[in-house]
Structure 1
Amino acid sequence: MLRVEHESVDSLRRFSVFERGLARLVAHELDHLAGKLYRARMRPGVEPMPVAEYRGSGSAWQYRR
């Protein structure tokens, strides 16, 4: 679960809660706003998988509770 504080278009302070895949997506985009790329969260020595390698793999994301 990810809880995000933000301002609405009418300038009111709001909180939104995101879960599972949507929480992961929102956290990823918030990282971009903070100037972070995915690689910054990877463990040292781990290289990202090339897009060509995972594209079309047909594997759904698995989330642990």
Structure 2
Amino acid sequence: MRTRHKARAAGSRRVSPPLPSGQRVPAPAGRQDDAFDLWLRASLKRAYDDVAAEPVPPHLLRLIEPDRG
């Protein structure tokens, strides 16, 4: 995981709890994504979109079916 900020004195910055899966931390007003974030997002999308779009095999669906409802 990439760290954007250098270490700071204890208590100088509040740390938020992790967000539930799938949610993004909102960017501060007026801040645009930096080049690394754009590159990383595009690279991950290119690498995993095809796999994520594949149907779930029936044997795996049978395993998770009881938890779905």
Report the TM-score range of the alignment, normalised by the length of the smaller protein.
under 0.3
Greater C-alpha Rg: 2
Pick 1 or 2: higher relative contact order, CA cutoff 8 A, min separation 6. 1
Under a length normalisation based on structure 1, what TM-score does the superposition of the two structures give? 0.27
Under a length normalisation based on structure 2, what TM-score does the superposition of the two structures give? 0.26
Q: Which one has the bigger helix percentage? A: 2
